[in-house]
Amino acid sequence: MPLYQPNLTTPVLEQFSLQGKTALVTGGSRGIGRQVVQALAEAGADVAFTYRTAEDAEQTAASIAQQTNKRIAAYHLDVTKRVDVLETFERIAKEFGNGRLDVVVANAGVCQNVPSLDYEEENWAYVNDVNYTGVMWTAAAAGKIFKRQGRGNLVITASVSANLVNVPQTQAGYNASKAAVVQLAKSLAVEWTDFARVNCVSPGYIMTEMLTRQPEDLQKLWLSQIPAKRICRPEELRGLYVFLASDAACYMTGSNIIIDGGYTLP
């Protein structure tokens, strides 16, 4: 089947609407994921999100539901566990989406600084199990549902680290995991053209806990290297995720969109 083509006479702003859609965001409890949940709901979708450690996930869901007047639900999930991911996605589709999931955002991720010669099974697995394997299980669970319903849309949070090596150069595992998901997304985009679009968002430095946990001198150094001269707020990514999730991006698949204030240009 050819890639889905929406009604081309729909006015352009209406093409961004997610009214009537059901979305699922992994790692939606804070940071970038939380903003994506809010953005998809503001665009009209009912949104389920997953969390792993957050104790306030239910309150987060209630707060976004109140602000957007959409159905928002939080589900516990560790994306590294394949069977749990498959079962949780099916459960969410059944009990939250009336059997459907239109949009899935594979966003959960972790970062750590480890000199490459110090890698052991444990710390190598810590990053790659979430950022790479976790995205594969997320994609697989989403893809099964998309194939069954004949249509779906996967957006993956990658990183500019897929393409560059930043100081302190002790993030080889993180960088490799992000490069891997960009290539994974391209492969799935080609394999799934009959029933789904697959795209990546690659942010630069975004003001979330992942960044603020880094040493202050590093944060200052990174700031000095950004042509935009400021760190991006997670709210500033919202439009891009809505775009990719919507029919406005109907011909985009296999893309990797960088949003970094010019960081990767010099």
Kindly write out the interface string for residues 61-100 of this chain, putting x where it contacts ligand NDP by CB under 6 A and - elsewhere.
Answer: ----------------xxxx--------------------
Q: Is 220 a known active-site residue?
A: no
Q: How far is CA 137 from CA 124, 150, 263, in A?
A: 18, 19, 31
177 token code pair: 């995991």
DSSP state of 80: T
Q: Distance (Å, rounded) from C-alpha 149 to C-alpha 13?
A: 26
Interface residue with ligand NDP, options 31, 97, 152, 261 (CB under 6 A): 31
Q: Distance (Å, rounded) from C-alpha 142 to C-alpha 97?
A: 13
The answer to whether the CB of 161 falls within 8 A of the CB of 211 is: no
| Residue nearer to ligand NDP on the CB measure, 171 or 195 | 171
Interface residue with ligand NDP, options 3, 62, 65, 110 (CB under 6 A): 110
- Least gap, CB of 15 to ligand NDP (angstroms): 26
Q: How far is CA 162 from CA 91, 172, 196, in A?
A: 32, 10, 23
Q: Is 109 in the site for ligand NDP (CB under 6 A)?
A: yes
The one segment of 29-37, 144-152, 191-199, 247-255 that binds ligand NDP by CB under 6 A: 29-37
- Least gap, CB of 144 to ligand NDP (angstroms): 19
Torsion over CA: 239, 244, 247, 249 (sign):
positive
Q: Tell me which of 159, 161, 177, 246 is the catalytic residue.
A: 159
Q: Is 174 a known active-site residue?
A: yes
| Residue nearer to ligand NDP on the CB measure, 195 or 201 | 201
